[in-house]
Amino acid sequence: MKLYTYYRSSAAYRVRIALNLKGIAYEQVPVDLRAGAQREAGYLERNPQGLVPSLEEGGTTLGQSLAIIEYLEERYPEPALLPGTALDRARVRALALTVACDLHPLNNQRVLKYLRGPLGQDDSAVDAWYRHWIAEGFRALERTARHTSDGRHLYGGHVTLADVCLVPQLFNARRFNCDLAPYPTLRSVGAYLETLASFAGAAPAAQPDAP
Ligand SMILES: N[C@@H](CCC(=O)N[C@@H](CS)C(=O)NCC(=O)O)C(=O)O
């Protein structure tokens, strides 16, 4: 398997965590987002959206981190990233999608670039935008986590898809100096998960394309 990735991409970071958790060997192909490599013709053939990650296997390429992780979950069921009952699975997916659908896309590089470029916003406006959407998403996650978390995982007592989405988003929020004080449960979960080898090995600083 080949993962097209960028060390600081939180969507790629999710897939790296899932691959590590499942013990799947893979090769990394770095796509330098700062240099615009995601918009080069060769990469667009693989991923028409011009986004990382993409996962290549047996001549086929998949995009969208959550679709990739669900594919891995079906192919390599152990350890399971989704719990045993339909209701629990729906709740875990709801937490994961809060990050992946409602928070992360608003703060993606191309969105921030559009705010800065065509919409003429300065750095302080863009930072305010970024922090606003982190706060909106994290407030809701924290509120839910108070009922679902054991202090080490976002949902229940095992690592799930929700954790795989949370940790990269926490990394991103710290990078943009967001105030995380209002989210003690999220911080506690992140602090524990970051000690696990599968998460630590997927972290941006541990990637071969990190500067
Ligand atoms: N929903 C997509 C999001 C992918 C995404 O936004 N990737 C970002 C990096 S985290 C990217 O490639 N950005 C390139 C750009 O904005 O030009 C997924 O989960 O895979």
Query: What confidence tier does 63 reach under pLDDT thresholds 50, 70, 90?
Result: very high
Give the position of tokens 């988003």.
169
Q: Cis omega before residue 118 (within 30°)?
A: no
Minimal-distance CA residue to ligand 1 atom 11:
51
Q: Which residues, 6 or more positions from 5, have their beta carbon under 8 angstroms from its beta carbon?
A: 12, 15, 16, 28, 29, 30, 31, 52, 53, 207, 209
Q: Show the domain range for 180.
A: 86-198
pLDDT at 116: 97
Q: How far is the CA of 110 from the centre of ligand 1 (A)?
A: 8
Residues 125 and 90 in one domain: yes
Q: Is residue 37 part of a domain?
A: yes
Residues 106 and 193 in one domain: yes
Domain boundary among 19, 48, 79: 79
Domain boundary among 52, 79, 106: 79
Q: What whole-number percentage of the chain has pLDDT above 90?
A: 99
Q: How far is the CA of 20 from the centre of ligand 1 (A)?
A: 20
Give the position of tokens 């670039």.
113
Atom number of ligand 1 nearest to Cα 63: 20
Q: What whole-number percentage of the chain has pLDDT above 70?
A: 100
- pLDDT, tens digit (0-9, with 9 covering 90-100), for 98-131: 999 999 999 999 999 999 999 999 999 999 999 9
Q: How far is the CA of 85 from the centre of ligand 1 (A)?
A: 30
Minimal-distance CA residue to ligand 1 atom 20:
64
- pLDDT, tens digit (0-9, with 9 covering 90-100), for 122-173: 999 999 999 999 999 999 999 999 999 999 999 999 999 999 999 999 999 9
Residue 20: CB within 6 Å of ligand 1? no
Pairs from 117-121 (Cβ < 8 Å, separation ≥ 24): none
Residue 33: CB within 6 Å of ligand 1? yes
Atom number of ligand 1 nearest to Cα 105: 6
Q: Is residue 44 part of a domain?
A: yes
Residues 95 and 66 in one domain: no
pLDDT at 192: 98
Compute how many other C-beta atoms are within 10 angstroms of the C-beta atom of residue 211: 5
The average confidence (pLDDT) of the chain is 97
pLDDT at 202: 98
Of 110, 99, 116, residue with least CA distance to 173: 99
- pLDDT, tens digit (0-9, with 9 covering 90-100), for 34-59: 999 999 999 999 999 999 999 999 98
Q: Is residue 211 part of a domain?
A: no
Residue 121: CB within 6 Å of ligand 1? no
Residues 74 and 100 in one domain: no
pLDDT at 2: 98
Q: How far is the CA of 64 from the centre of ligand 1 (A)?
A: 8
CATH of the domain at 70: 3.40.30.10
Q: Is residue 67 part of a domain?
A: yes
Q: What is the CA radius of gyration of the chain?
A: 17
Residues 72 and 154 in one domain: no
Give the position of tokens 């959206």.
49
Residues 182 and 114 in one domain: yes
* Tally of domains in the chain: 2
Angle 127-129-133 (CA atoms, 0-180°, nearest 5)?
120
Residues 93 and 176 in one domain: yes
Residues 133 and 153 in one domain: yes
CATH of the domain at 135: 1.20.1050.10
Residues 21 and 111 in one domain: no
Residues 127 and 104 in one domain: yes
Longest pairwise C-alpha distance within the chain: 48
Outline where the chain has alpha helix (H). Answer: 10-21, 41-46, 65-75, 86-97, 109-116, 123-148, 161-175, 184-193, 197-200
Residue 55: CB within 6 Å of ligand 1? no
Residue 171: CB within 6 Å of ligand 1? no
